[in-house]
């Protein structure tokens, strides 16, 4: 379903992805202000799942549009995918660290820095270019595709998985299904 943004027009893909960025930064703030280790882990699991769904949806529908419609788009996408790769590797490390250890909060601090940098790049560079090169209705449609892709996307970090549209569209839903099954079995918080 199409949502409306604060200006009363239909939310486009940029509104949706920008709101995701805000939510990620907000979750990081919550982790940093939660004294109880178990709760910190739960919020970190939610954050990791959210970042995975967001990154996969971008790689499926947004980065290909940047490549096709934005001058030097291919270079910008290559840079963005490298940053996604670093973020995924960092989240994999966070998964393996005891949430009561000081290393946990150090890694969360690194993730905060990487996510803010990456979100800022997208919001100041790629997203405005998408809006100037692609008609609004098309961006609203892309937003719907992004919302649907997030429902099937993996929720756990898979550092060896390629950051490609083709991989996400073929193998990705299977990986996402296994992730969701494991999430359910282990009571992992992903929403
Ligand atoms: Fe991204
Ligand atoms: Fe993003």
Name the one residue in this structure whose structure tokens are 């997203």: 127
Report the predicted TM-score, pTM, of the whole model to 2 decimal places: 0.93
Go through the domains of the chain in sequence order and give each one's CATH number.
13-186 (1.20.120)
| DSSP type of residue 73 | H
Ligand 1 centre to CA of 94 (Å) is 19
Cα-based angle 163, 56, 75 (whole degrees, multiple of 5): 50
* CA 129/CA 56 separation, integer angstroms: 20
Distance from residue 166's CA to the centre of ligand 2 (Å): 19
Classified as helix, coil or strand, 53 is: helix
pLDDT tens for the chain, residues 1 to 191? 566 776 667 899 999 999 999 999 999 999 999 999 999 999 999 999 999 999 999 999 999 999 999 999 999 999 999 999 999 999 999 999 999 999 999 999 999 999 999 999 999 999 999 999 999 999 999 999 999 999 999 999 999 999 999 999 989 989 999 999 999 999 999 98
87: CA distance to ligand 1 center in Å? 10
How many angstroms from the chain centroid is the CA of residue 168? Answer: 13
Residues with CB under 5 A from ligand 1 (ion): 58
Query: 9: which 2 tokens?
Result: 């027009």
């Amino acid at each position: 379903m199409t949502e409306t943004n604060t200006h009363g027009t239909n939310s486009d893909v940029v509104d949706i992805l920008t709101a995701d960025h805000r939510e990620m930064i907000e979750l990081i703030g919550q982790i940093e202000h939660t004294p109880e280790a178990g709760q910190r882990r739960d919020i970190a699991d939610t954050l990791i799942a959210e970042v995975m769904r967001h990154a996969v949806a971008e790689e499926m529908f947004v980065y290909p549009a940047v490549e096709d419609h934005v001058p030097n788009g291919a270079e910008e996408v290559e840079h963005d995918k490298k940053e996604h790769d670093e973020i995924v590797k960092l989240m994999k490390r966070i998964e393996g660290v005891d949430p009561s250890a000081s290393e946990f909060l150090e890694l969360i601090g690194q993730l905060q820095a990487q996510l803010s940098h990456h979100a800022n790049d997208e919001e100041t560079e790629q997203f405005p270019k998408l809006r100037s090169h692609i008609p609004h209705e098309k961006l609203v449609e892309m937003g719907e595709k992004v919302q649907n892709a997030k429902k099937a996307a993996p929720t756990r970090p898979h550092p060896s998985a390629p950051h490609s549209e083709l991989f996400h569209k073929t193998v990705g839903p299977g990986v996402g299904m296994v992730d969701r099954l494991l999430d359910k079995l282990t009571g992992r918080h992903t929403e």
